[in-house]
Amino acid sequence: MKSFKPNKKIKDNAYVGSIEKYNEIYDYSIKNPEGFWAEQAERITWFKKWNKVWNWDFDKADISWYEGAELNACYNCVDRHVDNGYGNEIALIWEGNDSSESKKLSYNNLLTEVQLAANSLKSLGVEKGDRVCIYMQMIPELTIALLACARIGAVHSVVFGAFSPDSLESRINDSECKVLVTQDTGVRGTKNDIPMKANADKAVKNTPSIEKILVVKRTGSPVEMEPSRDVWWHEAIASADSTCEPEIMNAEDPLFILYTSGSTGKPKGVMHTTGGYMVYTSTTHHYIFDYKPGEIYWCTADIGWITGHSYIVYGPMANRAVTVMFEGVPNYPDYGRFWEIVEKHKVNIFYTAPTALRALMKEGDDWPKKYNLESLRLLGTVGEPIKEPEWMWYHSIIGNQKCPIVDTWWQTETGGIMITPLPGVTETKPGSATRPFFGVLPELVDDDGNVLEGNNVEGNLVMQRPWPSIMRTVYGDHKRFFDTYFSRFPGKYFSGDGCKRDENGYYWITGRVDDVIIVSGHNLGTAEIEGSIGGHPDVAEAAVVGYPHDIKGNSIYAFVTLRTGREITENTRTEIAKIVRADIGPHATPEKIQFTEGLPKTRSGKIMRRILRNIASDNIDDLGDISTLADPSVVESLVNNRI
């Protein structure tokens, strides 16, 4: 197993520069969590301090942090930096879909824009505790709208800009949003005039709680405006008061609701509160990205997902970071776009998803080699376990073998990063999230809840105690919150992920527990098989699912994408099968291997395994909703070429 030690320059300048220091802080955070989290809370400005650091009962799914404390999230992200004399420093670098469009906002600019937007929302009747739905592409007004809601105590619910009108409608109705913020049309890659306002109009035909729609003019394309309901953003802020005092919020007041997939098909409204979330996101951003004042930090996620909430907006801005926000896609106008932006803005810290890396790796090394990437100091990954091939490519081609890679594991429900390497500390292994962050107490248990002690064990990943940014409930359905996360293993938070702990105590996420295929009595994790297939030099990406088999119960169907320019030969299938046999064993060998140009993915990069399972099972008449896929046409190709 390859491993990589942090280089001396990183170690000498890191906030935590040795494994001994990590162990010292980690041990303190576990033995004295109240003391540790009280200290970390000092990085946030409070209007009133807490009476008690934490109070929790997993048996009832009741959790609170910093009880009695008062603060405002927007004040912590914007005002206090201005108050402390940093108003002229850059807060946000916006890079448009087209490379000719770029904008920089200082903290002074941001404060002005947020106050105008906050007063505009107030003029539309939004009050503390009201829910505001935000349905936008990655434009600066999206960040401004989040902060404006936080400023006045409204609860924002961001709906990813590629979701269908039906998806938007269901999310608005579930949280009974009062106002919808959207834009005329959007641009993303080669797509012009994405019908944002038109989609919103379709959705609100069946959303009785919506009173007003606030519309940003992004493209200037004509859209229908209903005079009694719809208001242009630019007109609203033109008449708004320029001063809006931040609302005083209790630490446990809701900050936002964000919907995530549910096993029943109905999305869960994950609700996060204010105080603990702000403490945890700022603390993790500080240590994990080792952020230093003035550095250019770029998380490529969409703010429609939790990564964008926590590590584009709230965490970085609480730390006075210079944060990059990108409207486009990594392959437009060509496959060098990410690296062009890194060179243009001299990005120091780059945080992206393995799915993006695989897509870029597939196109070869020439694209990144066209650009100067010397400014990069630290790299990160998020969203899924990263396989060794793309980890090594990231390390050697993008990081020039000098940048530590922080492979972070966390969830919408956790609010912040839970298991991760620390730069300057961790000897990394490609594909391993390595060790828990401070204050995080993971445990592996078998299906009966028995604790698996020691190393070289594999089981269900649970947490023994809460952390400040843990979700507090499923909005409007606390029973579902308890049933989903606390009923399976009483007294513990169940992540839903399988995990193994290796001989060094490092954690390896093996995938969702429901992504386990049982073949002839063998429990096989999809992530492990996919990683093995990815070891073939021609393979860019693979996804495996189970399908019914008369003898084995289930067998394995692999969907494989080759790197650009690589041809399928008579031996390709045989070579892939041999690699899996050698890595895992004969029982893990795919029965069927279908080569494909692409996989069915959401815009966040998640593979829709439900679709693959139906195709593999020849159940093509029940593929379900494919409207949220980044490229729905992939499904037709997969169906037509199934084995």
The predicted pLDDT at position 54 comes to 97
Cβ partners under 8 Å of residue 265, min gap 6: none
| Residue range 401-418: mean pLDDT, rounded | 97
The closest of 151, 194, 155 to 172, measured between CA atoms, is 155
Helix (H) or strand (E) holding 50: none
Q: Is residue 95 part of a domain?
A: no
> Using one digit for the tens of pLDDT, what is the confidence trace for 497-555?
999 999 999 999 987 787 777 776 566 778 778 988 999 999 999 999 999 887 677 88
Q: Residue type at 245?
A: E
- CATH number of the domain that residue 326 is part of: 3.40.50.12780
Q: Is residue 259 part of a domain?
A: yes
> Using one digit for the tens of pLDDT, what is the confidence trace for 363-387?
999 999 999 999 999 999 998 888 8
Q: How would you classify the pairing of strands 378-381 and 539-549?
A: unpaired
Residues 60 and 155 in one domain: no
pLDDT at 297 over 80: yes
Alpha-carbon distances of 432 from 25, 194, 247, 428, rounded to whole Å: 21, 38, 42, 7
Residues 277 and 425 in one domain: yes
- CATH number of the domain that residue 577 is part of: 3.30.300.30
The predicted pLDDT at position 272 comes to 98
Residues 111 and 65 in one domain: no
pLDDT at 140 over 60: yes
Residues 562 and 608 in one domain: yes
What is the per-residue burial (b if ≥16 Cβ within 10 Å, else e) of 127-153? eeebbbbbbbbbbbbbbbbbbbbbbbb
Going through 488-538 in order, the beta strands assigned E by DSSP cover 493-501, 507-512, 516-519, 522-525
Q: Is residue 93 part of a domain?
A: no
Q: Is residue 2 part of a domain?
A: no
Tell me which residue has tokens 């896929």: 629
Q: Give the model's confidence band at 264: pLDDT under 50 very low, under 70 low, under 90 confident, else very high.
A: very low
Percent of the chain residues past pLDDT 70, beyond the cut: 98
Q: Give the model's confidence band at 263: pLDDT under 50 very low, under 70 low, under 90 confident, else very high.
A: very low
Residues 292 and 228 in one domain: no
Are 309 and 156 contacting, i.e. CB atoms less than 8 angstroms apart?
A: no
Q: Is residue 91 part of a domain?
A: no
Residues 478 and 561 in one domain: no
Residues 260 and 233 in one domain: no
> Using one digit for the tens of pLDDT, what is the confidence trace for 419-436?
999 999 999 999 999 999
Of 247, 280, 301, at which residue does a domain stop? 247
pLDDT at 266 over 80: no
Q: Residue 103's beta-bridge partner residues?
A: 94
The predicted pLDDT at position 523 comes to 63
Q: Is residue 92 part of a domain?
A: no
Of 221, 247, 273, at which residue does a domain stop? 247
The predicted pLDDT at position 198 comes to 97
Per the structure block, which two tokens stand in for 179? 């106002």
Residues 257 and 242 in one domain: no
pLDDT at 562 over 90: yes
Residue range of the domain that includes 207: 104-247
Angle subtended by helix axes 275-288 and 33-40, to nearest 10 = 80
The closest of 518, 512, 619, 612 to 560, measured between CA atoms, is 612
Higher pLDDT, 516 or 575: 575
Residues 472 and 586 in one domain: no
The predicted pLDDT at position 522 comes to 64
Q: Is residue 98 part of a domain?
A: no
Helix (H) or strand (E) holding 105: strand 102-106
The predicted pLDDT at position 311 comes to 98
pLDDT at 216 over 50: yes
Number of domains present in the structure of the chain: 3
- CATH number of the domain that residue 136 is part of: 3.40.50.980
Of 247, 280, 306, at which residue does a domain stop? 247
pLDDT at 155 over 90: yes
Residues 465 and 420 in one domain: yes
The predicted pLDDT at position 511 comes to 78
pLDDT at 227 over 60: yes
Residues 331 and 449 in one domain: yes
The closest of 417, 418, 421 to 432, measured between CA atoms, is 421
Helix (H) or strand (E) holding 109: helix 107-123
Work out the mean pLDDT of the chain and round it to a whole number: 94
Least confident of 92-101, 121-130, 570-579: 570-579
Q: Give the model's confidence band at 262: pLDDT under 50 very low, under 70 low, under 90 confident, else very high.
A: low
The closest of 257, 284, 231, 611 to 422, measured between CA atoms, is 284
Residues 58 and 118 in one domain: no
| Residue range 4-11: mean pLDDT, rounded | 92
The predicted pLDDT at position 524 comes to 74
Per the structure block, which two tokens stand in for 602? 């959401």
Q: Give the model's confidence band at 244: pLDDT under 50 very low, under 70 low, under 90 confident, else very high.
A: very high
Q: Is residue 209 part of a domain?
A: yes
